[in-house]
């Protein structure tokens, strides 16, 4: 379908291309080159992501790499492909989906003895594939900037995520609600395998391939499952448990940081427990537990407070898909059940750290529940609250009104601040004000900040993308020159509407 391209000799010394996913065989993908992106230009790049594969920013900007990252040349040694997966979308079985606009170029691996972790390199928005269905295979500049910035911001917040190496833009028009322009995000992750890959092979009755996929994932990413005796030596039940554990951790991090994903379909759930597929996501501004960030989500299935429950539902789908391998339903259920303790534990640990405690103190849950209730009642800004509280806690005093000023219910928050300071004052409470400042970021990628970068980039000014990236890569630092990025959202932020798949 796409134009085959001559190979380019790369990569940098010490690294080589390998194609372990492609080696699974043709049932797993369609071999396919990206569609060239006309007259591409670099919109933004992450030096930190490039370091993962020992690529310097200078090398990334050479014509050879730029050609590859736009999809206009193939790396010699890569085996480009679009993978097939299925999934449940908005709670309904959607059947076959697959990489409709992403091409996996291959996997960059360190030479034996060389430090580093192999990274798959995928181009998102790189043209039609056999799985494009009604889509055009492209991504627009707007959503590419959002994905690029948020991937790197999440990493800096210590939240597991796919990474983003760069954005290549083009003036090629792409039609959404209005004409926009095309862009390609070069993403990296050790693997882009989703729950939906397993669902695909289960639901189509391809159980040999299902086993092959599970063995591949276990051998590469979860080798301890082979020796885990908790499930009577059943490595597939152990895999389900391991993914359940990672997903529980991820959900606790999303909830603690105030991140709403927006499209938690099973095809958007990473088997490695990474945040993947940034679409209509949003960091909360005002704290509203029922916040829905996806304008296509009319039922609020993916509202902020529903995320941990949806993750559990999605894990059930994964469990169902692994059942032909696990064999015993009880073992699958036992693996899934661990979520019910792992998620609350992980969430409690995250919230304890937000309050500055190295270990969850007695009475933590009541303290957390009450402050979230007060914040929800007054729609207090989530990020600003935690940051101000982090400063307040260095010298707790009701004379300092910086936190109280965020609330209408002054008596309620003062009562809570007193309770919190009693916990802080307890000897051996394990309280560290510095932990709060290292846990509660000053900067998150609010929708309106992304919008500022997008508007400038549309006018070919890519400096805001770079500035925002710089700030978001160190979200716990003060960055006095960028104080405005830490401020409340402007009124127009409420009018930004974002739906799926742009
Ligand atoms: P998403 O909601 O972005 O996770 O996408 C769901 C499915 O739709 C996946 O199979 C995507 O590859 C596919 N898709 C989304 N946007 C497009 C597009 N513009 N062209 C082709 N396929 C797309
Ligand atoms: Mg997706």
Query: Among 2, 124, 135, 182, which is best to mutate for testing ligand 1, by the most ligand atoms less than 8 A from CB?
Result: 135
Residue 268 inside a domain? The answer is: yes
Point out the ligand nearest to the CA of residue 97: 1
> Is 239 within the bounds of a domain?
yes
Q: How many CA atoms lie within 13 A of 391 on its CB side?
A: 15
Quickly count: other Cβ atoms within 10 Å of residue 431's Cβ: 20
Return the structure tokens found at 6: 């001559």
459 is written with which tokens? 């006018």
Residues of the chain with pLDDT under 70: 1-11, 499-501
Task: Give helix 195-203 / helix 207-221 axis angle, nearest 10°.
Answer: 160
Closest listed ligand to the CA of 127: 1
Domain identity same for 158 and 272: no
Residues 295 and 248 grouped into a single domain: yes
Q: Which atom of ligand 1 is nearest to the CA of 139?
A: 19
State which ligand 1 atom lies nearest to the alpha carbon of 500.
2
Do 134 and 84 have their domain in common?
Answer: yes
| Alpha-carbon dihedral 134, 138, 140, 144, rounded to 10 degrees | 120
Closest-CA residue, ligand 1 atom 16, reads 501
Quick one: which of 273, 111, 262, 87 has its CA closest to 189? 273
Domain check: are 300 and 323 in the same one?
Answer: yes
Judged by DSSP in three states, 109 sits in: strand
Q: State which ligand 1 atom lies nearest to the alpha carbon of 277.
A: 4
Host domain of residue 219? 196-349
| Atom 12 of ligand 1, residue of closest alpha carbon | 100
Rounded distance between C-alpha atoms, residue 35 and residue 54, angstroms: 27
Which of 164, 192, 220 terminates a domain? The answer is 192
* 162/203 same-domain check: no
Residue pair 279/501 in contact by the 8 Å Cβ criterion = yes
Q: Which ligand is nearest to the CA of 83?
A: 1
Q: Write the residue with the smallest CA distance to atom 7 of ligand 1.
A: 97
Q: Is the dihedral of CA 478, 484, 490, 493 positive or negative?
A: negative
Question: In the block, which residue shows the tokens 């609600």?
Answer: 177
pLDDT value at residue 197 = 98
Tell me which residue of 358, 354, 351, 347 sits closest to 249, measured CA to CA.
Answer: 347
CB 37 within 8 A of CB 130: no
Whether 355 contacts 364, CB under 8 Å: yes
Residue 415 confidence (pLDDT): 98
Domain boundary among 349, 366, 391: 349
Residues identified as active-site: 267
What is the distance between the alpha carbons of residues 196 and 318, in angstroms, rounded to a whole number? 8
Q: What is the pTM of this model?
A: 0.97
Atom 11 of ligand 1, nearest CA residue: 100
Pocket mutation for ligand 1, best pick of 101, 127, 262 (most atoms within 8 Å of C-beta): 101
Q: Are residues 74 and 52 in the same domain?
A: yes
Give the Å distance between the CA of 123 and the centre of ligand 2: 13
Atom index in ligand 1 nearest the CA of residue 97 equals 10
Last residue of one domain, picked from the residues 282, 317, 349: 349
Do 122 and 263 fall into the same domain?
no
Please name the residue whose Cα sits nearest to atom 3 of ligand 1: 501
Cβ < 6 A, ligand 1 pocket: 97-101, 131-132, 135-138, 263, 267-268, 277, 279, 500-501
What pLDDT is recorded for position 494? 82
Q: Which pair of tokens denotes residue 443?
A: 């900067």
Distance 268 CA to ligand 2 centre (A): 5
Q: How far is the centre of ligand 1, averaged over its atoms, from the C-alpha of 99 (Å)? A: 7
Please list the residues that pair with 44 across neighbouring strands.
Answer: 167
Residue identifier of the C-alpha nearest atom 5 of ligand 1: 501
- How many domains is the chain built from? 2
pLDDT on residue 1: 45
pLDDT for the residue 255 = 98
User: How much is the pLDDT for 14?
Assistant: 86
Residue 137 gets which letter from DSSP? S
Q: Are residues 167 and 218 in the same domain?
A: no
Task: Read off the tokens for 306.
Answer: 């529903």
For residue 290, being part of any structural domain is answered with yes
């Amino acid at each position: 379908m796409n134009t085959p391209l001559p190979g380019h000799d790369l990569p940098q010394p010490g690294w080589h291309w390998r194609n372990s996913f492609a080696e699974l065989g043709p049932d797993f993908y369609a071999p396919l080159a990206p569609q060239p992106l006309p007259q591409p230009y670099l919109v933004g790049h992450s030096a930190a992501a490039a370091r993962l594969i020992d690529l310097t920013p200078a090398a990334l900007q050479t014509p050879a790499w730029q050609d590859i990252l736009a999809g206009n040349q193939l790396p010699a040694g890569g085996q480009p492909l679009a993978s097939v997966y299925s999934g449940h979308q908005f709670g309904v079985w959607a059947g076959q989906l697959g990489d409709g606009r992403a091409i996996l170029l291959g996997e960059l691996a360190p030479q034996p003895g060389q430090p580093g972790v192999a990274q798959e390199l995928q181009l998102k928005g790189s043209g039609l594939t056999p799985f494009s269905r009604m889509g055009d295979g492209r991504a627009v500049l707007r959503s590419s900037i959002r994905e690029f910035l948020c991937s790197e911001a999440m990493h800096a917040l210590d939240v597991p995520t796919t990474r983003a190496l760069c954005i290549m833009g083009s003036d090629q028009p792409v039609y959404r609600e209005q004409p926009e322009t095309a862009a390609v995000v070069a993403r990296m992750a050790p693997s882009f395998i989703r729950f939906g890959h397993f669902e695909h092979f289960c639901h189509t009755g391809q159980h040999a391939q299902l086993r092959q996929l599970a063995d591949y994932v276990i051998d590469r990413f979860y080798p301890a499952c082979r020796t885990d005796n908790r499930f009577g030596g059943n490595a597939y039940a152990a895999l389900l448990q391991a993914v359940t554990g990672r997903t529980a951790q991820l959900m606790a991090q999303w909830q603690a940081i105030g991140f709403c994903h927006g499209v938690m379909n099973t095809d958007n759930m990473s088997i490695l427990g990474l945040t993947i597929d940034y679409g209509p996501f949003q960091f909360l501004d005002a704290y509203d537990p029922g916040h829905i960030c996806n304008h296509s989500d009319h039922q609020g299935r993916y509202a902020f407070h529903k995320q941990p429950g949806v993750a559990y539902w999605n894990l059930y789908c994964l469990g169902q898909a692994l059942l032909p391998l696990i064999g015993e339903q009880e073992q699958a259920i036992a693996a899934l059940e661990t979520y019910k303790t792992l998620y609350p534990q992980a969430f409690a640990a995250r919230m304890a750290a937000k309050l500055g405690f190295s270990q969850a103190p007695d009475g933590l849950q009541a303290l957390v529940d009450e402050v979230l209730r007060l914040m929800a009642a007054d729609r207090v800004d989530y990020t600003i609250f935690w940051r101000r509280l982090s400063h307040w806690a260095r010298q707790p005093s009701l004379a300092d009104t910086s936190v109280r000023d965020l609330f209408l219910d002054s008596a309620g928050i003062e009562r809570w601040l007193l309770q919190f300071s009693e916990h802080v004052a307890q000897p051996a409470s394990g309280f560290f004000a510095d932990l709060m400042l290292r846990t509660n970021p000053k900067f998150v990628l609010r929708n309106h900040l992304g919008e500022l970068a997008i508007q400038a980039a549309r006018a070919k000014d890519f400096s805001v993308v770079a500035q925002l990236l710089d700030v978001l890569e160190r979200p716990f630092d003060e960055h006095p020159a960028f104080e405005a990025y830490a401020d409340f959202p402007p009124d127009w932020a409420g009018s930004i509407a974002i739906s799926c798949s742009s």
